[in-house]
Chain A
Amino acid sequence: MTTAAARVGTRARAGVEEQVDVNRAAVSRRRWTSTRTWVQAAVIIVWCLLPFYWMVVTSFRDVGYTFDTAFWPTHVTLDNYVTALSTHWGNHLGHALLNSLIIGASVTLVALIVGVFASYALARIEFRFKGIVLGLIMGASMFPGVALLTPLFQLFTNIGWIGTYQALIIPEISFALPLAVYTLTSFLREMPWDLEEAARIDGCTSAQAFRKVILPLAAPAVFTTAILTFISSWNEFLISSQLSSDRTQPVTVAIASFTGSLPHQVPYTAIMAAGTIVTVPLVILVLILQRRIVAGLTAGGVKG
């Protein structure tokens, strides 16, 4: 009798120990998985940031140590920034920054003003040919830039527009507008439109309901779209490299054609400083607005 009970007890204890073993295995497996995730995450972070870090580090190095391989900045100097912004080698980075701002702001403004109406219709109204309109705008966003470049180059040469701001702004609208419409539509779909209806029941006119209720709610969406559009315009190179002059050259072209004091000497440290000047404000902006930008990028599914 007692031996039987003892046997049962032993079996039960063995069962508990087995269970504890399973739990311990699960815990250690989970810990192992989380370590593995962390290692993978670290690899991604290092891979993404290392080249950027190298640019910033190099931008602070004295010219004589351009190819120094020390991981930390050595022979730190701000000379490269002075060189990058100076004009004595025929570089105009400061002026190019202003150009990029003018072009980017104009493109963003036009794309947003026009695009907001279209995206309101696409997000809010069921109408015939909606699929076709969406397809057209999607197709426009995938259109190869060189197919526009040749005819526009001929046209702008004929009417003397090469080297003007409008020669850069108008073609860039073809990239910015579909991007703006797509991103805005996806944001507007998520809006609480019941509130607009509620405001109208409370006695607002359509226009009032839109202005007082929907517009404030839509402001962040419009702002995010503006940022994405502006970044895409800031990064444009193909059209600007062919249709701009020294006077209207944006930063991307200015950096690509950055020259040194001698024809075959590449002023790498100054170029890295120029690259840092052009990139760091953008990176900071992106980091601050990280969440919204990810939402905009994935919802629109369009390259920014």
Chain B
Amino acid sequence: MSATVIGAARGSDAPPPSEKRGGLQRAQRLRNRNALLLIIPTLVLLAIVIGYPIVSAIITSFQKDAGLDPATGFFVQGGFAGFSNFTHWLLQRCPTGDGGTTSCPPGNLGAQFWNSTFTTFFFTVATVVLETVIGFWMAIVMNRAFSGRALVRTAILVPWAIPTAVTAKLWVFMFSVAGIVNALFNSHILWTSDDWPSRFAIIIIDVWKTTPFMALLILAGLQLIPGEVYEAARVDGASTWKTFWTVTLPLVRPALLVAVLFRVLDALRMYDLPAIFGGGNATATWSILVVEQLRQGPNSASALSTIVFVFIFLIAYIFVRFLGANVVQTTQAQQKGELK
């Protein structure tokens, strides 16, 4: 009996068998109600701080920005805009004086949407690939038993703990023309203003800052692999490389996919680093474009942020649907230490 009580206390979903069916349902109903009461404050707060802005952004994205009418020169208050805010970005159509549209002139923010899409995707692919590969290596090193392990673990938390704004300023200094990077390589590259150097610089900084986080998530996955599996591989005479491909990688895959998904979504919303580091149009991500548009016309900024949101949502969906990144299940299993 006491075993049942402890079992019930631990599992909390296994009531004692003595309970009748009706009592069981009543107990479940009571649990549902209690859980709901406890969760409602969080859901209400999230609805206010996230739900309201989403709905409001979608509504305002269908309204015209207030401004000077190019045809009459008078100030107009906006009104219903249909899909024009969306076509403005996606098809790069800008309004003309007679109510029609024309392709946006270079220099207009509308003409930059696909450039910034390219930049965003380029940053995402480059940083996530590098961070996964280097993070995996770091995780494997940290997973070995050696006396300095705690030291490595401590060191990799340092880049993570530094605010991105400070990181960006620090690397602006190191990447400046007379800075240490150019001094070390005896080069004179304009890292903060030339197109490709500034892009590469931002990738390097992001890899420096975020790889530790990736390494920790992969390490958590690695530590769930039982030692016997490696023992068996060694008995079978598998080489280190083969063990990695046939044992480590498949077993760590669920944890790895979740880590990669987090990083991808994080890279897609990158703002601080390019905003502070510089590089102009060459490093303008989606988030930077939204912020630049914000004060020029909030309604088309809403349309842009809605587009960005839908894109990011689609990418997350693809990850979960086709790559089988089960975020909830994997993190839950990881928390319980029961990763399969």
Contact = CB atoms under 8 A, between A and B. Distances in A.
Contacts of A220: none
Interface in B1-60: 5-6, 8-10, 12-13, 28, 31-32, 34-36, 38-39, 41-43, 45-46, 48-50, 52-54, 56-57, 60
A214 B178 CA distance: 57
Contacts of B312: 142, 144
Interface stretch (A1-9, A17-25, A116-124): A116-124
Contact of B166 (A143, A279, A299): A279
Contacts of A235: 163-165
A154 interface: yes
Contacts of A286: 157-158, 160-161
Contact of A279 (B31, B32, B162): B162
Contact of A252 (B161, B165, B316): B165
A170 B49 contact: yes
Given A48-B156, A125-B12, A145 B269 contact: yes
B42 A177 contact: yes
Interface in A137-178: 137-140, 142-155, 170-171, 173-174, 177-178
B248 interface: no
A121 B6 contact: no
Given A238-B272, A256-B169, A125 B35 contact: yes
B290 to A, nearest CB: 4
Interface residues of B, number: 107
B271 A238 contact: yes
B141 interface: yes
A297 B9 contact: no
A142 B262 contact: yes
B32 A45 contact: no
A194 B9 contact: yes
B337 to A, nearest CB: 9
A51 B171 contact: yes
A38 interface: yes
Contacts of B308: 144, 146-147
B119 interface: no
Contacts of A275: 162, 166, 169-170
B50 A301 contact: no
Contact of B262 (A126, A170, A302): A302
A193 B212 CA distance: 33
A282 interface: yes
> B10, B46, B217: which has the most chain A beta carbons within 10 Å?
B46
A226 interface: no
A282 to B, nearest CB: 5
B208 interface: yes
B112 interface: no
A140 B265 contact: no
Contact of A150 (B144, B208, B305, B331): B305
Given A55-B170, A121-B38, A253-B165, A147 B12 contact: no
B309 interface: yes
A114 B41 contact: yes
Contact of A294 (B216, B276, B298): B216
A180 to B, nearest CB: 9
Contact of A290 (B38, B157, B217): B157
A contact residues, range: 35 or more
Given A41-B152, A151-B56, A298 B162 contact: no
Contacts of B271: 145-146, 237-238
Given A118-B39, A133-B39, A150-B301, A238 B287 contact: yes
B269 A121 contact: no
A135 B49 CA distance: 17
B146 A118 contact: no
Contacts of A40: 137, 141
B180 interface: yes
B233 interface: no
Interface in A256-277: 256, 258, 266, 268, 271-272, 275
A67 to B, nearest CB: 4
A179 to B, nearest CB: 12
A99 interface: no
Interface in B270-318: 271-272, 275-276, 286-287, 290-291, 294, 298, 301-302, 304-306, 308-309, 312, 316
A134 interface: yes
A287 B217 CA distance: 18
Interface string B144-181: 10101111111111111111111111110110101110
A143 B36 CA distance: 24
Contacts of A115: 42
Nearest to B15: A126
B259 interface: yes
B276 to A, nearest CB: 5
A54 interface: yes
A301 B161 contact: no
Interface string A50-66: 01101100100000000
* 8 A-B pairs closest in CB distance: A197-B9, A126-B13, A298-B220, A252-B165, A127-B35, A121-B38, A118-B42, A144-B269
Given A201-B5, A278-B163, 6 more contacts: A44-B141, A138-B327, A170-B49, A190-B335, A235-B165, A275-B169
22 contacts: A40-B141, A114-B41, A118-B39, A125-B35, A128-B32, A136-B43, A142-B266, A147-B309, A151-B54, A151-B60, A174-B46, A174-B49, A186-B331, A194-B10, A235-B165, A238-B291, A242-B294, A252-B272, A268-B176, A286-B157, A286-B161, A293-B157
